[in-house]
Amino acid sequence: DEAPEQAAFDAVIEADSRIEPRDWMPAAYRKTLIRQISQHAHSEIIGMQPEGNWITRAPSLKRKAILMAKVQDEAGHGLYLYSAAQTLGITRDEMTEQLIEGRARYSSIFNYPTPTWADMGAIGWLVDGAAICNQVPLCRASYGPYARAMVRICKEESFHQRQGFEILLTLMQGTAAQRELAQDAVNRWYWPSLMMFGPPDDESPNSAQSMGWKIKRFSNDELRQRFIGMLVPQAEVLGVTLPDPELRWDEGSGRWITSEIDWTEFHEVLAGRGPMNAERIRRRREAHEDGAWVREAAAEYARKQQLRDGG
Ligand code: 3HC
């Protein structure tokens, strides 16, 4: 028979309730959460770079202000998630080192370049749209700090998705050149956004256990299908074409039929050989090193405060 704490843990999971930092948990549960939450946090922080690339070149003050707010939100999302991961026993320094040394995963999607302003629309509409499909179910993840971080993040993410849609709509209502720009960006971001949901279910080593622990609520393919179902009517409103000639709804099986997803590209990007992997890590390392003086000053200030307060 099970050890009493394992039985208590299983009962909480069974009851769809929450595991909190001080609760006993299986070491493998802790390890999976550190893996997923730290990767999620890294994704938010690295995700600031593709969009940051356009803050100084936004076409208007309004667009610049919105993009700055969005990039700041991503930084905040990263901080909530690093804090959630720290409740599991890993430190912020360890996670930062793992990322900077190229030993940490982050979402494949941020390893693609953003050559035109229309990329800001495609990222908001497709990448944040996919993130919403993936993150809403995570609001019900069994680990308390992660689920609560998700609730806050999902509220801000819907603004991100709306502003991306609106950028594309504005371009599609513009000149032929602007419409061409928007369609080109959708062509480049569509397939990588489908890959954000992870490998096909039959090639997803973590899914079964993650779903058993009610961390992952829906499978990779289920969320990918849900995302496509969300995109099709919105693409019609925008007047853009999703770059998959095979895409159609199959009434019989109740699912979207798509062309083959290029999983070789996915694995290349995960192996660090995507178009921008090296650049993203280089920039992140540079930002960390350039910011060292701020950390030292803050630590010194805190030390002096403590001395003064006789701490
Ligand atoms: N990018 C990078 N790595 C990926 C990936 C992707 N798109 N999809 C899967 N992987 C990795 C997994 O991490 C795993 O590798 P690991 O065991 O070394 O960590 C391997 O590929 C196999 O995938 P699995 O399906 O077995 O792994 P998971 O059960 O962890 O599922 C996931 C993958 C669906 C991404 C899940 O980890 C998850 O839901 N993570 C939290 C959500 C997240 O990270 N979203 C990032 C979106 S970007 C974002 O949110 C920013 C927003 O503001 C745009």
> Could you report the per-residue pLDDT of 92-115, keeping only the tens digit for each?
999 999 999 999 999 999 999 999
Q: How far is the CA of 80 from the centre of ligand 1 (A)?
A: 18
Mean of the per-residue pLDDT values for the chain? 97
CB 216 near ligand 1, within 6 Å: yes
Point out which residues pair with 257 in neighbouring strands: 248
Residue 310's pLDDT band, with cuts at 50, 70 and 90, is confident
ipTM attached to this prediction: 0.96
Distance between terminal CA atoms of the chain? 49
Pocket test for ligand 1, best of 31, 34, 35, 43 (most atoms within 8 A of CB): 43
Would the pLDDT of 142 be above 70? yes
Assess contact for 232 and 165: CB atoms under 8 A. no
Closest residue by CA, ligand 1 atom 47: 131
- Helix (H), strand (E), coil (C) string for 27-91: HHHHHHHHHHHHHHHHHHHHCHHHHHCCHHHCCCHHHHHHHHHHHHHHHHHHHHHHHHHHCCCCC
* Pairing, β 255-257 against β 248-250: antiparallel
Per residue in 204-219, pLDDT tens? 999 999 999 999 999 9
Assess contact for 130 and 67: CB atoms under 8 A. no
CB 39 near ligand 1, within 6 Å: yes
CB 105 near ligand 1, within 6 Å: yes
pLDDT (0 to 100) of residue 1: 60
Would the pLDDT of 2 be above 90? no
Output the CA torsion sign for 90, 31, 272, 111. negative
List of residues 6+ apart from 160 with CB closer than 8 A: 70, 73, 124, 128, 131
Which atom belonging to ligand 1 lies closest to the Cα atom of 160?
A: 53
Assess contact for 51 and 71: CB atoms under 8 A. yes
Summarize the confidence of residues 264-290 as an average pLDDT: 97
pLDDT (0 to 100) of residue 124: 97
Residue 277's pLDDT band, with cuts at 50, 70 and 90, is very high
Q: How far is the CA of 106 from the centre of ligand 1 (A)?
A: 7
Q: How far is the CA of 290 from the centre of ligand 1 (A)?
A: 29
